[in-house]
A and B are shown apart, each in its own frame.
Chain A
Amino acid sequence: MRWLRFAALILTVTILQKGVLARWDTKPDLLLIALVFSATYFNTSDAMISSFATGFAADMIGSPMPMGPHMISFGVFGTLLAHLHRVIAIRRMPFQALAIFVTGLLVGVVTHLLAGEPLSRSLLAVVLVTSLYSGFVGPFLVAPSAWWMGIKPDRLRLRRR
């Protein structure tokens, strides 16, 4: 597991999310896409570590939300997804898109609940749109991420347990 490359990937994604994408009204959550990528391409323990690390990165740019909710929700759902991937392969693009969408919804709701924010309609709409956008864009970003990490994107084979 190339942790240095992973750290560089997460740092780049975090800066993009907080910099360029912050000025967009509707935007994908690149950290969510990184979470699903790591959960489906790394082994279980590496996926768990990277999920919590991605959540920590999301917390760093989550101001004014307090730190902690992203780390917990990313960690929990990333770990769950990694375990699910041992049973159901999530390598094809439609399945990746679905995984990103569902994970985005769950992570979004739990994060805001942990932060103590009321779940208003506008907030749920934002979570839904962000998850949809991420689900649409995410599968196209998996291949370059896998190349950067030196992983061969093999869609036909389940990851070794």
Chain B
Amino acid sequence: MLFTWFMLTGLILLFAPQGFTSKFQLAFVHIFRWPLSIGGSVALTARTQQSVEGAKQRSETQHNNYVENLKQTLNEQTRELKRLYGLYNSPVWEGADFALADVITKTIDGSRGELTIACRKTEGLMTGQYVLGDESVIGTISEVFPQIAKADVKLVTDSTSWIPVEVAGLKNTLRGIMTGNGDNSAKIGNLKEEVKVGEHVFALKQLKTGGFLDAPIIVGKVVRCERNTQNASVWDLTVEPVCDIQKLDDVAVIIMNPPK
């Protein structure tokens, strides 16, 4: 009888809306934030020798990503200028707002890649919005908890993540959908052209509500390009994020056309 009751409880939790049950998970993280953060500090202490190098590498990564974003923005704007034969003077982020947030927990484990962030403001936050880390897209908002000012971020390497991207092929700029692979990588499948290893991959605006961008933003770098095993006429890319999630302490959520 007891077994039946427990199984029933498990099934109720399983079929209950995840938005409701995840509040319990967040509440646990929130209540035990201090011992959890101590545990994290103990693990990080073992890496102290790398921390100075890590800080230098991170600012260099940030700078390089910023430069690549500027170059891509410049190319996009030049194309538009040529097309419209007019003057262009709108700043890239006109009509956009940012919600800054601190990273509380990171779950990068097998096929899962998720962050829990503490937002300084939740107004205007919604699922699907892009999240920036070190000037690059690292994921999208998967769940918002306005009552406790927190949100979950699904990383681009999560197996359920998919975002539209573009990458420079040998001849043309290619567009495709990037899906997470787990293991800190993602893939872009069925591209018509080969792509050089090392090419940067840029996130585009999403057709669904939330994830809008005025210009492509860097998200990763191609580490492997091989022919599709089922259709040799197309190419599959393996992409690694340009941002080191393990060293990330804060992020920014892009809110296009924020509510006034």
Q: Are B22 and A63 in contact (CB under 8 A)?
A: yes
Chain B binding site: helix, strand, loop or mixed by DSSP?
Answer: helix
| A76 to B2 CA separation, bound complex (whole angstroms) | 12
**Interface Cβ pair total, 8 Å cutoff:** 124
Chain B nearest CB, measured from A109 CB (Å): 12
- CB < 8 Å neighbour of B25 from A22, A61, A117: A61
A146 at the interface (CB under 8 A from B): no
B136 at the interface (CB under 8 A from A): no
B196 at the interface (CB under 8 A from A): no
Q: Are A22 and B106 in contact (CB under 8 A)?
A: yes
Chain B nearest CB, measured from A3 CB (Å): 15
Question: How many residues belonging to A are interface residues under a CB distance threshold of 8 Å?
Answer: 38
Chain A nearest CB, measured from B180 CB (Å): 11
Chain B nearest CB, measured from A48 CB (Å): 6
- CB < 8 Å neighbour of B13 from A22, A23, A67, A123: A67
Q: Are B14 and A63 in contact (CB under 8 A)?
A: no
Q: Are B183 and A122 in contact (CB under 8 A)?
A: yes
Q: Are A123 and B111 in contact (CB under 8 A)?
A: yes
Q: Which of A11-19, A31-39, A135-143 lies at the binding interface?
A: A11-19
Quick one: which of A62-111 are within 8 Å of B by CB?
62-69, 71-72, 75-76, 79
Q: Are B7 and A72 in contact (CB under 8 A)?
A: yes
A24 at the interface (CB under 8 A from B): yes
B198 at the interface (CB under 8 A from A): no
Q: Are A64 and B2 in contact (CB under 8 A)?
A: no
Instruction: Collect the chain A residues with CB atoms within 8 Å of residue B87's CB.
Output: none
| A74 to B246 CA separation, bound complex (whole angstroms) | 30
Instruction: Collect the chain B residues with CB atoms within 8 Å of residue A18's CB.
Output: 29, 32, 36, 39, 105
* Given A19-B40, A122-B110, A68 contacting B2 (CB threshold 8 A): no
| A79 to B26 CA separation, bound complex (whole angstroms) | 29
- CB < 8 Å neighbour of B10 from A22, A71, A120, A127: A71
Instruction: Collect the chain B residues with CB atoms within 8 Å of residue A123's CB.
Output: 110-111, 182
Question: How many residues belonging to B are interface residues under a CB distance threshold of 8 Å?
Answer: 48
B11 at the interface (CB under 8 A from A): yes
Instruction: Collect the chain A residues with CB atoms within 8 Å of residue B37's CB.
Output: 19
Kindly supply a per-residue 1/0 record for chain B positions 1-18, scoring 1 wherever the CB is within 8 Å of any chain A CB and 0 otherwise.
Answer: 011001101111111101
Q: Are A15 and B36 in contact (CB under 8 A)?
A: yes
| A18 to B14 CA separation, bound complex (whole angstroms) | 21
Q: Are A114 and B182 in contact (CB under 8 A)?
A: no
B52 at the interface (CB under 8 A from A): no
Instruction: Collect the chain A residues with CB atoms within 8 Å of residue B259's CB.
Output: none
Instruction: Collect the chain B residues with CB atoms within 8 Å of residue A79's CB.
Output: 3
| A157 to B73 CA separation, bound complex (whole angstroms) | 73
Interface residues of A (CB under 8 A from B): 15-16, 18-24, 45, 48-49, 52, 55, 59-69, 71-72, 75-76, 79, 114, 117-118, 120, 122-123, 126-127
Q: Which 7 A-B pairs have the closest CB atoms?
A: A19-B39, A68-B14, A68-B13, A126-B110, A20-B39, A72-B10, A67-B21
Query: Could you give 22 example pairs across A and B, Cβ below 8 Å?
Result: A15-B32, A18-B36, A18-B39, A19-B37, A19-B40, A20-B43, A23-B246, A52-B6, A59-B13, A62-B25, A63-B29, A63-B114, A63-B116, A64-B22, A64-B112, A64-B158, A65-B112, A67-B14, A114-B14, A120-B111, A122-B111, A126-B110
With A63-B25, A64-B22 already in contact, 11 other A-B pairs whose C-beta atoms are closer than 8 Å: A16-B39, A19-B35, A20-B42, A23-B43, A23-B246, A63-B114, A66-B22, A67-B13, A67-B22, A79-B3, A122-B183
Interface residues of B (CB under 8 A from A): 2-3, 6-7, 9-16, 18, 21-22, 24-26, 28-29, 32, 35-40, 42-44, 105-107, 109-112, 114, 116, 142, 152, 154, 158-159, 181-183, 246
